[in-house]
Amino acid sequence: MARETENVNRNDAYSILAGKHGYQDSVRYRRILEYLMTPEQAELVALLPMKYEELANKLGMDVAAVKKELEALYGKGVIFARGPENLEEATFALAVVQLHDITMCSFDVDVVRDRKLFELWDDFCVQEWDPDQVNSWDGGEQPRGRIVPAYKAILNSPEILPWEDMREIIRSARSIAVTYCTCRRRKEAVGKKCRSSHAMVDIQFNLSAEYLISRNAGKRLSTDEALALIDQCEELGLIHTCENSTRMRPRWGMCNCCTDCCMIYEPLNRFRVPVTKCVAKSRYEAWVDQDLCNGCQDCMDWCAFDAIEMVKPEGSKKYRAFVDPAKCMGCGICVLKCEPQALSMQLVRPVEHIPQAQ
């Protein structure tokens, strides 16, 4: 992809901040930072973390003015703290993904009024960040993400582990919030309509949930409301994706993904890279009872991973669905969409397939 690196001042605050995320020479990333911060604000953020009085002395400002600027930057999602009352501990975003998500998920951000922000992010992601991410995902023994199967698809399994059961994950949380999937919100804001869903489907737990609610970027959900949202996501064919561990409250929440918009699945498909380089399969795999299959092809249409094909068995006049085990990720959506109930989920991987939480 073409990268814009001409005439970048490597010594100013914008470049220093971009360098913290590995994009010091990126003109596209600089444009995002320039949209989010004035030059004076960028200088302030480049000094963080620092006490109010130290910031005031270094910048020639009074403490009240420093606090006001920090409040504005916190509201935009540029800086992070435990809450609006703890801005003296604030830091710049730790990584691109953190800045990407929080600057676009706030309810105060409007997709029409703030369209430029979404355009800048989309340009940077498509041209630079997506290919960089794909190249960095080496898979290894433990990919970063993991698919959690649709819970209704594995109800009959006697060996469901708590961390692969969406109901148990939801019920174990002290607090829950739903926020925008920023991948989907960004795509739709620039006119790339999602074929699968609306954007309000990203689920966060506990501290992350409270943080988003405090920033007017998340809506609190009861356990029953969260379970209803999970049902809706599965009905829409979205894929539950979380960190690859036995942690019951995944640190980056529970994404409900489509292959149109997701910052993981869409680039992997675009660059023809195996999904398993970044996302681990669930412990389950779809299986077809050929005697029950009526050849309707609904499962093939719903499969996000092209793991199902229609094949005419020897001696048969009709085509039947066949699942390619190499491609099946174990999401279970096809099972939910199979009207004759010819599809089911089979447990094919051991308990050790999911790494222990560290």
pLDDT in tens, 268-315: 999 999 999 999 999 999 999 999 999 999 999 999 999 999 999 887
Confidence class of residue 221 from pLDDT cuts 50, 70 and 90?
Answer: very high
Q: Name residue 314's beta-bridge partners.
A: none
pLDDT in tens, 235-278: 999 999 999 999 987 777 999 999 999 999 999 999 999 999 99
Question: Residue 138: pLDDT above 80?
Answer: no
Evaluate whether residue 3 is within a structural domain: no
Long-range contacts of 161-169 (CB under 8 A, 24+ apart): 161/246, 161/283, 161/351, 161/354, 162/248, 163/245, 163/246, 163/247, 163/248, 163/354, 164/282, 164/283, 164/354, 166/230, 166/240, 166/254, 167/227, 167/230, 168/248, 169/242, 169/248, 169/249, 169/250, 169/254
Q: What is the CATH number of the domain that holds 82?
A: 1.10.10
Count of the separate structural domains present in the chain:
2
Confidence class of residue 84 from pLDDT cuts 50, 70 and 90?
Answer: low
Same domain, yes or no, for 112 and 236?
A: no
Q: What is the CATH number of the domain that holds 296?
A: 3.30.70.20
Same domain, yes or no, for 189 and 107?
A: no
Last residue of a domain, one of 93, 118, 135: 135
Last residue of a domain, one of 135, 157, 189: 135
Same domain, yes or no, for 238 and 281?
A: yes
Mean pLDDT of 169-183: 96
pLDDT at 195: 86
Same domain, yes or no, for 110 and 216?
A: no
Same domain, yes or no, for 183 and 129?
A: no
Mean pLDDT, the chain, integer: 93
Last residue of a domain, one of 135, 167, 183: 135
pLDDT at 248: 87
Question: Residue 219: pLDDT above 70?
Answer: yes
Evaluate whether residue 2 is within a structural domain: no
Same domain, yes or no, for 244 and 155?
A: yes
Please state the pTM of the whole predicted model. Answer: 0.92
| Sequence-ordered list of residues with C-beta below 8 angstroms from that of 323, at least 6 positions apart, any chain | 285, 286, 287, 288, 307, 308, 334, 343
pLDDT at 140: 66
Evaluate whether residue 264 is within a structural domain: yes
Pair 105, 180: CB distance under 8 Å: yes
Same domain, yes or no, for 79 and 58?
A: yes
Same domain, yes or no, for 229 and 293?
A: yes
Confidence class of residue 2 from pLDDT cuts 50, 70 and 90?
Answer: low
Same domain, yes or no, for 97 and 143?
A: no
Confidence class of residue 197 from pLDDT cuts 50, 70 and 90?
Answer: confident
Tell me which residue range forms the domain holding 116.
13-135
Same domain, yes or no, for 208 and 318?
A: yes
